Structures are given as C-alpha cells and as structure tokens.
C-alpha cells in the first residue's frame, strides 16, 4: 500500500458539525483577509453526504428576538438549573456574540424563520419570539460547506476518525492520529488542532460510566450521533485537559415512539397529563414552562418509567395547536377515542385506573377561563 503522505496543516479541525465547520470557515476567511495561505484539514468520521453528528439533525430552535438578539434571561436559567455553578462569563460572552453570529449565518445564505408564539408561554425574554433556520441545522451545515468548498486550501477527509492527539516529546500538540476506512492509522500533522467532534452519545461504555444505569437501553436521539463516541473528550483528557460542565447530564426529549421520522418530539406535555403504564402521573406537568421541563420529564420517563409514558389531552388542545410545531413533529396521528375507558383500551392501559387518574385531575379544574399563557399548578402528582 502507498504510504499516506499528509501535508502539514496550519489547522486540523476534527468534526464537521456547527463547531467544526464554523471554525474551519472562519479560519479560512481570516487567512484570506490577511493574505495568508493557511492550509486546513477537516477530519470527519462520517461519510460524504451523510447526516453525521447532531448538527445535521436538529431543528435548531434558537432563543432569539425579532432583532436576532439572544434571550437575556438565559443566564438566569443557567444559574437556576446549575444551582449557581454555571460559568456566567461564558454565558455573557455567548449572549454578546449571538447577534453577530446570526448575521454571519444570514451572510452565508442561511434563511432564519422568525416565529411569534401565541399559544405556548415561553420563558425566554424575547417577547414570545423564537427563530429557526429554514431546513434546520442541516441547512446551516450545507451553506457553510458551500463556502468552505470555495477554498482550495481546505481538504475534507471523510470516513476518517481521529483517535489520538499527536504530541512532541515536550507535550506540544503537533497533529492528530486518525483511522481511515481501510482500518489503518495515519498521522495528520497540524500546527493547531480544534476538537469539534461532539459528545459521547454513541459510546455505551462512556454513557454507563458517566450517566449511569440503563443507558444501554437509551436510543439515539438522532442516527448521526453514532459517530459521537467521546473521542474528542478522551483525546483531550489524555493530554491533560481540564473538564467543565456535568458529565452525568444529557439532552433528551419525549418522542412519539411510533414515528418513522427522527426527532418526533411531543413538546406540549404541559397541556394535558402524562401517565405511566400504571396510569399514574409521575411528573408535575405544569411545574414550569415547556422549555424548562421538556427534558426533565423525558429524563424521568427514561430513568424511572422504563421509557414509556402516555400523553393524554383533549380535542380543544389538539385543535388549538395543530397545525403547528407543538404536536406536529410526528408523522403518526394521535390515538383518539370518545371516552377515557375506550382510550385506555386502545393504548393497552387499565380503563379503571386511567379513568380514576383523569377524574382526580379534572376535579381540580375550576370555572375560570383557560389561559394558555399562565402556569396553572392545581394538582401535583402524588
């Protein structure tokens, strides 16, 4: 076999999601501005044309207002959920940079859809507004790559997985050792290396180590995450990097398990009740706003309810919200029935138990007009 004679790169970027493609394109553009050649390699484990990683799967809902300014309450939310441990300088920096970042995306061909939300109380300080790119995160990557491909000084190495940072005897990072699709190892020398290869969603061993029991049952939230095996974290730790954040946390969502399309999130758990197989409510659906709770209820469903829960609501809610993003992400229609016992039967649940739970919940209702824009904590689960 011919030896792999890699050029020396000024920058080696590992991963081609948002982090990797933004780093590569920024570097290439800056080099051009400065009149420098600046040779870049993007190392990507996935195949060319494949939706590898997270960025190519997300809808990328963004907490931006009408002027693309970031939700200024986000820092408070981070303080709250981290119980004061969040790096607030980092949060402030992010808030400061976001309008320029949104402009950068617009300048590079990404279309941002602006949405005024009438039904769901958002906790963001964006005046009931949020933004999402047309075509989701995949469209962001496609647009960034269109610009990257204009540069002849950038090589994209697909089906190439970084396995180790190369270092000098003194410990300086000098490049990356990669495994190519032939199964063999090669060295890619680089003056600078950016690790942008995601988390460890696709690594059962690391999931069990950090997140804990039952992670072997955890389905991937998107197929492209199989490539995110924690290689970047392990490579960095191996050369003495520090850590930040909580390794035992994760992003999870309640999804319609009948759906054939990915990311079939059932967002609006607040506008009804969620019961387990025993027809019991296990999470206070109205505890906080939708975006503050959708991950927590999913986490409890996975951890304590054997990954199964049923969202039960009525036609008033469905008619109010559909069509729309809240209950339209699944390609399967909801299961409908004319009575609670009939619904229980269709779901394979105990009709008496489900009727009892719904009756108890409904007893807490009063005659005040229903207000979707206010939290209404009337009956907490036992």
**CB closer to ligand FAD out of 137 and 175:** 137
150: β partners: none
User: In this structure, are residues 23 and 7 in contact, taking their beta carbons and an 8 Å threshold?
Assistant: no
Q: How far is the CB of 18 from ligand FAD (least distance, A)?
A: 4
Q: What angle do CA 50, 55, 9 make, to 5 degrees?
A: 75
Judged by phi (left if over 0) then psi (alpha if -120 to 50, else beta), residue 240 lies in left
Site for ligand FAD in 118-137 (CB under 6 A): 137
Kindly tell me which residue out of 41, 64, 154, 161 binds ligand FAD, with binding defined by CB under 6 A.
161
| DSSP-derived secondary structure letter, 53 | T
Residue tagged 């190892």 (tokens): 185
Q: Take residue 86 and report the two structure tokens written for it.
A: 């969040």
User: In this structure, are residues 14 and 195 in contact, taking their beta carbons and an 8 Å threshold?
Assistant: yes
The binding track of 272-311 with respect to ligand FAD, each residue x by CB under 6 A or -, is: ----------------------------------------
**CB closer to ligand FAD out of 44 and 117:** 44
Can you tell me whether residue 120 is helix, strand or coil? coil
Stretch that binds ligand FAD, among 31-39, 42-50, 116-124, 325-333 (CB under 6 A): 42-50
Site for ligand FAD in 360-379 (CB under 6 A): none
Task: Check residue 31 for interaction with ligand FAD (CB under 6 A).
Answer: no
**Dihedral pair phi/psi, residue 204, rounded to 5°:** -60, -40
Q: How far is the CB of 338 from ligand FAD (least distance, A)?
A: 35
Question: What sign has the CA pseudo-torsion 47, 53, 57, 58?
Answer: negative
The binding track of 173-212 with respect to ligand FAD, each residue x by CB under 6 A or -, is: -----------------------xxx--------------
**CB closer to ligand FAD out of 16 and 301:** 16
- The Cα–Cα gap between 175 and 186 comes to 11
Kindly tell me which residue out of 140, 162, 298, 317 binds ligand FAD, with binding defined by CB under 6 A.
162
User: In this structure, are residues 262 and 222 in contact, taking their beta carbons and an 8 Å threshold?
Assistant: yes
Site for ligand FAD in 46-75 (CB under 6 A): 46, 52-55, 57-61
Pairing of the two strands 185-195 and 9-14: parallel
Task: Check residue 101 for interaction with ligand FAD (CB under 6 A).
Answer: no
Residue tagged 């195949």 (tokens): 47
Using CB under 6 A as the criterion, which residues of the chain lie in contact with ligand FAD when the complex forms?
Answer: 14-20, 43-46, 52-55, 57-61, 137, 161-162, 196-198, 221-222, 227-229, 231, 263
């Amino acid at each position: 076999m011919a030896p792999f004679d890699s050029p020396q790169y000024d920058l080696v970027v590992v991963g081609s999601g948002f982090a990797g493609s933004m780093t590569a394109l920024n570097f290439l553009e800056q080099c051009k501005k400065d009149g420098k050649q600046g040779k870049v390699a993007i190392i990507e484990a996935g195949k060319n044309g494949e939706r590898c990683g997270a960025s190519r799967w997300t809808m990328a809902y963004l907490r931006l207002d009408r002027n693309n300014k970031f939700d200024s309450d986000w820092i408070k939310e981070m303080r709250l959920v981290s119980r004061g441990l969040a790096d607030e300088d980092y949060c402030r920096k992010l808030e400061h940079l976001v309008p320029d970042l949104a402009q950068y995306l617009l300048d590079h061909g990404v279309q941002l859809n602006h949405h005024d939300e009438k039904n769901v109380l958002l906790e963001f300080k964006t005046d009931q507004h949020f933004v999402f790119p047309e075509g989701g995160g995949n469209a962001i990557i496609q647009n960034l790559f269109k610009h990257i491909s204009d540069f002849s000084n950038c090589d994209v190495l697909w089906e190439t997985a970084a396995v180790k940072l190369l270092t000098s005897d003194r410990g300086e990072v000098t490049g990356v050792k990669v495994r190519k699709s032939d199964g063999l190892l090669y060295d890619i020398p680089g003056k600078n290396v950016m690790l942008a290869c995601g988390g460890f969603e696709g690594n059962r061993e690391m999931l069990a180590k950090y997140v804990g029991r039952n992670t072997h049952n955890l389905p991937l939230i998107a197929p492209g995450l199989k490539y995110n095996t924690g290689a970047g974290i392990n490579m960095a730790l191996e050369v003495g990097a520090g850590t930040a954040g909580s390794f035992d946390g994760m992003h999870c969502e309640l999804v319609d398990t009948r759906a054939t399309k990915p990311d079939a999130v059932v967002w609006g758990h607040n506008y009804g009740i969620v019961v387990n197989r025993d027809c019991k409510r296990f999470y206070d659906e109205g505890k906080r706003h939708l975006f503050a709770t959708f991950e927590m209820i999913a986490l409890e469903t996975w951890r304590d309810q054997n990954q199964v829960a049923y969202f039960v609501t009525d036609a008033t809610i469905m008619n109010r919200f559909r069509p729309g993003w809240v209950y339209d992400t699944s390609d399967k229609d909801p299961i409908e029935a004319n009575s609670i016992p009939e619904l229980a039967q269709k779901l394979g649940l105990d009709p008496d138990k489900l009727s009892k739970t719904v009756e108890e919940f409904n007893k807490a209702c009063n005659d005040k007009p229903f207000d979707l824009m206010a939290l209404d904590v009337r009956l907490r689960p036992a």
